[in-house]
Amino acid sequence: MFYLADIVSIPKDDPVAFTFFTGYMAMAAASLFFFMERSQVDRKWKTSLLVSGLITAIAAVHYYYMRDYYAATGENPTALRYIDWTLTVPLMCIEFYLLLKPAGAKTSFLWKLIIASVWMLVAGYIGEAFNPPGGDTMHSVTWGVISTIGYVYILYSAWFGEAAQLADASDSTAVKKGIKALAWFVLAGWAIYPIGYMCMPGGWLSSVFQPSDVDLFYNIADAINKIGFGLVVYSIAMSESKSTS
Ligand SMILES: *C/C=C(C)/C=C/C=C(C)/C=C/C1=C(C)CCCC1(C)C
């Protein structure tokens, strides 16, 4: 039985609940910012800013529900989390594609990134959603490793593979800077997610962290990767817009 008071409270010793609330507000504010600032940049950057805003807007809606789910039950909102990611990570692949399109990126490049990200997320979902209540190390490690294959593909593409090569061949400094920034987000920002994953019962870090810390890591990582990356795209767009007008 849940009362309204349970849904809206933030216990003072619960940083997970705190980050769900601040995450929600930050994603909503970032969306408004990206949508409004579209008018400040050159035409060719408007779609990138739109996608940045869509990423944070989709996250904001999911945080609205995840926040209440967690406040009411104290459980990880696993399904909502993965639905959010299944929409927003492919949109981040589209950011890659939009940056590289002037450098000759084909839609096959986009599809490879999307397939790798869906692979990564489906395996991660199986690892989390079908982990037995007490935890099963074999289960979580197996699906974690399968998921990491998709992650490594995207990481490789960003640093050495197709994305990096297209950026190298491009004569635009904005494209080179943009892809380098994205590559750093994938290397350092995205690496926070597997740490969160390992906090679940039976996970490699389950003796150090609590199961609810899964969401603490995910919430921090989402803020960095969704808002932070959007801001980097925004600042590149702004500097390019000034130099060409
Ligand atoms: C906005 C959401 C983003 C950028 C989500 C990214 C998620 C990941 C990079 C997740 C990666 C995982 C692994 C590499 C292994 C363990 C399972 C996952 C799904 C947490």
CATH number, domain containing residue 170: 1.20.1070.10
Q: Is 121 a member of any domain?
A: yes
* Nearest ligand 1 atom, CA 125: 19
Print burial letters for 171-187: b (CB count within 10 Å at least 16), e (below 16): eeebbbbbbebbbebbe
pLDDT at residue number 242? 75
The amino acid at 181: A
User: What are 52-70's pLDDT values in tens digits?
Assistant: 999 999 999 999 999 999 9
Residue among 50, 53, 123, 112 at smallest CA distance from 86: 123
Does 7 score more than 90 pLDDT? no
Does 124 score more than 70 pLDDT? yes
**How far does the centroid of ligand 1 lie from the alpha carbon of residue 165, in Å?**
24
Range of the domain at 108: 14-244
Does 5 score more than 70 pLDDT? no
pLDDT at residue number 2? 57
Q: Is 97 a member of any domain?
A: yes
Site of tokens 């927003």? 88
Average pLDDT over residues 157-163: 97
Report residue 66 CA to chain centroid gap. Answer: 15
Does 3 score more than 60 pLDDT? no
Specify whether the CB–CB gap between 12 and 189 falls below 8 A: no
Q: Report DSSP state, residue 41.
A: S
Does 1 score more than 70 pLDDT? no
Smallest CA separation from ligand 1 atom 2, residue: 85
User: What are 96-106's pLDDT values in tens digits?
Assistant: 999 999 999 99
Q: Is 35 a member of any domain?
A: yes
Site of tokens 């996970």? 203
Q: How many domains does the chain have?
A: 1
Mutate to test the pocket of ligand 1, among 117, 146, 184, 190 (most ligand atoms within 8 A of CB): 190
Residue among 75, 91, 84 at smallest CA distance from 129: 75
What tokens appear for 242 in the block?
A: 């000034």
Q: Is 1 a member of any domain?
A: no
Average pLDDT over residues 137-158: 98
Specify whether the CB–CB gap between 34 and 85 falls below 8 A: no
Residue among 158, 173, 148, 175 at smallest CA distance from 109: 158
Q: How many whole angstroms separate alpha carbon 164 and alpha carbon 95?
A: 14
**How far does the centroid of ligand 1 lie from the alpha carbon of residue 149, in Å?**
11
Print burial letters for 84-103: b (CB count within 10 Å at least 16), e (below 16): bbeebbbbbbbbbbbbbbeb
Q: How many whole angstroms separate alpha carbon 134 and alpha carbon 127?
A: 14
Q: Is 8 a member of any domain?
A: no
User: What are 14-58's pLDDT values in tens digits?
Assistant: 999 999 999 999 999 999 999 999 999 999 999 999 999 999 999
Q: Is 3 a member of any domain?
A: no
**How far does the centroid of ligand 1 lie from the alpha carbon of residue 195, in Å?**
9
User: How much of the chain, in percent, has pLDDT values that exceed 70?
Assistant: 96
HSE of 39, CA atoms in CB hemisphere, 13 A: 3
**How far does the centroid of ligand 1 lie from the alpha carbon of residue 234, in Å?**
23
Model pTM? 0.94
Mutate to test the pocket of ligand 1, among 66, 89, 120, 218 (most ligand atoms within 8 A of CB): 120
Q: Is 114 a member of any domain?
A: yes
**How far does the centroid of ligand 1 lie from the alpha carbon of residue 121, in Å?**
7
